[in-house]
Chain A
Amino acid sequence: MSGHSTYEPKTGFERWLDSRLPILRFAQDTMVSFPTPKNLNYWWTFGGILAMMLGIQIVTGIILAMHYVPHVDYAFNSVERIMRDVNYGWLVRYTHANGASMFFLAVYVHMFRNLYYGSYKAPREVLWILGCIIYILMMGTAFFGYVLPWGQMSFHGAVVITNLIGAIPLVGPSITTWLWGGFAVDDPTLNRFFSLHYLLPFVIAGVVGLHIWALHVPGNNNPTGVEVKSKEDTVPFHPYYTVKDGFAISVFLILYASFVFFMPNVLGDAINYVQANPLQTPLHIVPEWYLLPFYAILRAVPNKLMGVVAMGGALITLFVLPWLDTSKVKSMRYRPTARLYFFIFILACLVLGVCGAHAPDDLVIPGFSGLQFLDANINSYVWLSRIGALYYFAYFYVITPLLGLTETPLPVPDSISTPVLSHPASAPTGAAASPEKRG
C-alpha cells in the first residue's frame, strides 16, 4: 500500500488481471512482501489473532442465527434446542460464547501492548483511534449478543444498561422508550438487539479494513519505538511473520479450545440458564468479565448521571490519548519511570475488574469491619473502585502529560538494527540470510 510495489505478474492471466483489478498485486504487497520491522516480539501477534477471532465469531454467529428465534417466548428454548438437538449446536454455541471472551482477552493484550510501546503516538494516531472505535463496537456487539439467550442475566443486564441512557437530563427517558420500542425491555427490544447484533460485526470488519489500511501507511511500530530507517531494519511479512503469527495463533487456540471443551461455562453466569423473568431480578447483577472495570467506574460515582459520564469518559479518554502524551520516546523500554506507572495502571484495571464483580457493600478484607468514610465503609468495594477509577483517570490526565516533561529516558538506539549490531558476537554473519529460500 505504501512504497513501491514489488509484484511482478508471472503469467499472461496475471498480467491481464493486473491491468484491470490489481488484487493479486494488493495481496502480494500487503500480505507477502510487506516490509515489517525485524524485531517484533510475540506481543505483536495479537493483531493476527484478533482477525482470526472476528472471522470465527462471524462464522459461528451466522450458524447460530440459522437456529435461533428472536422472540421472547421462543428465544430461550431455541438456544436450548441448539444445545441439545441441532447437530454440533453445542460446539458452535460454546465456540461463539467463549469466543467473545477470547476476543476481548486478545483485544486487551493488543491495547496494553500498544500503551507500553507507545504505538498510538504520531504517525499512528488515526490507527489508534480506529482501534478505539472497533473496541467500542465490540462492547456494543457483545452486549447485544448477551441479551439474545433471554436468560435472567440477559434480561436484567439489558434493563440496567438501557436505563443508563435514562440518566441524560430531559430527553433521557424518551430515548430509553425509543430504544426499548415499548415501556420495558420486551419483544421489540429483543428483535432490534438481534438485528444489531447481526449488523455490527460487519461494521467492525469494515473498520478493521480501515485499521489495517492505516497500519500499512506508516508501517508497524516495534519494541524499540524507533521508526524503520532502512531496508536493513525490515524483513518481508511472509514467511517471517506469517509463521510467527501462525505459531501464536496455534497456542492461542489451545487456550481457547480448553475453555470450549473443558470449562465452557466457567466465564458465564449460571443464572443465565434460568429463563428471563421480568418480575424478579437476580440478587446480584454483573456483566461479563470484560466489561467489569467500566461497570466498577459506573458504580464508584454516587450520582446516576455522573456515574454514566465517568464511564463514558473512561472510554472517550482513550481517543485523546495521543495528544495527552508529551513524551517524545515511544517505547517504555527506555522509560523506566513511565513503565512503573504503566504496571500500576494494569493493576488498577484489574482491581476495577474485581470491584465490578462484587456487590458495592461487600467487605474487601473479610472480618475487618473498617470504618465509615463519607457515604460508605472504607473497607468496601465502593471505596476500592473509587481509588481504582481515580488512578485510571489520573494516569491519562496527570501522570502521562507530566511524566513526558519531567522524566529522563534511557538512551534510545539510532535504529532498530543498532542494538543488535553493536554486539558483534551475538550476530553471526549470515543470520539475516533468507531461510525462506530453498535449501
Chain B
Amino acid sequence: MVDTVAGAGPDPHVSGDDPNRRDFIHIAAGVAALGVVGGLAWPFIDQMNPAGDTLALASIEFDLSKVVQGQQVVVKWRGKPLFVRYRTPAEIAAAIKDDHADLRDPQTDEARHKPGKAQYLVLIGVCTHLGCVPTFGGGDYGGWLCPCHGSVYDTSGRIRRGPAPKNLEVPDYSFLSDTKIKVG
C-alpha cells in the first residue's frame, strides 16, 4: 500500500509479470493459513479414533478350563464374537489331513494353533465375506457355516467353499499358564 500511496516514480520491484513482494506475501499468507487449517483439522479427525478407555479394554483374559472337549465357548472381544473351541482328536486329524488339499487361503492346521495346544482353537467369529457370525456344525467339512451367504469353513476354521476370501482370523493371543490365555 505504501508503494502506491507514495506514487513517486515507478516501483522498482515491478517488472512485467515477474513475481513481486505482494505476490510473495500472498503466497506466504496462503501457505501459513493452509498450515494452520491442517493443524487444526487433525484434532477434529483424531477425536473419532478409539478413545483411551476403549483401547484400555482391548485385551481380555480367558480361562480355558471352562471349556470341555467338543465344546465351543463364545466370548465378546473388541465388540466381536471370539470362538474358543476345544477340538476332539477326530477334528484335529481331519484338519491335518486337509493341510495340503486345494485350499483357497492355504495354511496348515499347525499354523493356526499354539505349539502343543492343538486342541484349543481360538478364532475371531466373523465371516471374512461380509461380517456375519458363522454357526458351528453346518456345512460339509465339520466346521462352520455362515448363514448369510453360505461360506463353509473346516475344523481348522479354513475357508473351503462359498464367497468368503480368507480363513477365519486367528487373533493375537498367548498362554499365560496351562489353562489361561490373554487375547489382544
Instruction: Please report A residues at the B interface, Cβ cutoff 8 Å.
Output: 59, 63, 66-67, 81, 84-89, 91-92, 428-431, 433-435, 438-439
The 0/1 profile, CB within 8 Å of A marked 1, for residues 11-54 of chain B is 10010000010100000000000000000000110111101111
**8 Å CB contact of A430 from B5, B22, B49, B53:** B5
List the A side residues contacting B7 at CB < 8 Å: 428-430, 433
- Are A439 and B20 neighbours in the complex by a CB distance under 8 Å? yes
Task: Pick the most buried of B14, B43, B49: most chain A CB atoms within 10 A of its CB.
Answer: B43
C-alpha gap A86/B53 in the complex (Å): 8
C-alpha gap A428/B53 in the complex (Å): 66
- Are A85 and B43 neighbours in the complex by a CB distance under 8 Å? no
C-alpha gap A317/B85 in the complex (Å): 75
**8 Å CB contact of B51 from A86, A92, A439:** A86
Closest to A438 in B: B22
The 0/1 profile, CB within 8 Å of A marked 1, for residues 124-153 of chain B is 000000000000000000000000000000
- Are A431 and B5 neighbours in the complex by a CB distance under 8 Å? yes
Known contacts being A431-B5, A438-B22, is A88 close to B47, with CB within 8 Å? Answer: yes
- Are B47 and A92 neighbours in the complex by a CB distance under 8 Å? yes
Q: Give the tally of cross-chain contacts (CB within 8 A).
A: 56
Q: 9 nearest interchain CB pairs?
A: A88-B43, A85-B52, A85-B51, A85-B53, A430-B7, A87-B46, A439-B14, A86-B51, A435-B1
Task: Pick the most buried of B4, B11, B20, B48: most chain A CB atoms within 10 A of its CB.
Answer: B4
- Are A89 and B53 neighbours in the complex by a CB distance under 8 Å? no
C-alpha gap A433/B11 in the complex (Å): 15
Instruction: Please report B residues at the A interface, Cβ cutoff 8 Å.
Output: 1, 3-5, 7, 11, 14, 20, 22, 43-44, 46-49, 51-54
Please name 20 pairs of A and B residues whose Cβ atoms are closer than 8 Å in the assembled complex, sorted by A: A86-B51, A87-B46, A87-B48, A87-B51, A87-B52, A88-B43, A88-B44, A89-B47, A92-B44, A92-B47, A428-B7, A429-B7, A431-B5, A433-B4, A433-B7, A435-B1, A435-B4, A438-B20, A439-B3, A439-B22
**8 Å CB contact of A63 from B11, B44, B53, B54:** B44
Task: Pick the most buried of A84, A85, A87, A433: most chain B CB atoms within 10 A of its CB.
Answer: A87
List the A side residues contacting B43 at CB < 8 Å: 87-88, 91-92
Q: How far is the CB of A63 from chain B (nearest CB, A)?
A: 6
Closest to B56 in A: A85
Closest to B49 in A: A87
Closest to B55 in A: A85
List the B side residues contacting A89 at CB < 8 Å: 47, 51
C-alpha gap A435/B49 in the complex (Å): 47
Q: How far is the CB of B169 from chain A (nearest CB, A)?
A: 26
Known contacts being A433-B4, A439-B11, is A86 close to B22, with CB within 8 Å? Answer: no
Known contacts being A59-B44, A88-B43, A439-B20, is A430 close to B51, with CB within 8 Å? Answer: no
Q: How far is the CB of A241 from chain B (nearest CB, A)?
A: 15
List the A side residues contacting B14 at CB < 8 Å: 439
In addition to A84-B52, A87-B51, A89-B47, 19 A-B residue pairs with Cβ atoms within 8 Å of each other are A67-B51, A81-B51, A86-B47, A86-B51, A87-B43, A87-B46, A88-B43, A88-B44, A92-B43, A428-B5, A428-B7, A430-B4, A430-B5, A431-B5, A433-B4, A435-B1, A435-B4, A438-B22, A439-B14
Q: How far is the CB of B122 from chain A (nearest CB, A)?
A: 28
C-alpha gap A80/B22 in the complex (Å): 48
Q: How far is the CB of B32 from chain A (nearest CB, A)?
A: 11
- Are B47 and A63 neighbours in the complex by a CB distance under 8 Å? yes
C-alpha gap A205/B169 in the complex (Å): 49
List the A side residues contacting B54 at CB < 8 Å: 85
**8 Å CB contact of A87 from B11, B20, B47:** B47
Q: How far is the CB of A245 from chain B (nearest CB, A)?
A: 14
List the A side residues contacting B48 at CB < 8 Å: 66, 87
C-alpha gap A59/B44 in the complex (Å): 9
List the B side residues contacting A431 at CB < 8 Å: 5
C-alpha gap A52/B23 in the complex (Å): 27
List the B side residues contacting A439 at CB < 8 Å: 3-4, 11, 14, 20, 22
Closest to B23 in A: A438
Q: How far is the CB of B15 from chain A (nearest CB, A)?
A: 10
C-alpha gap A434/B14 in the complex (Å): 16
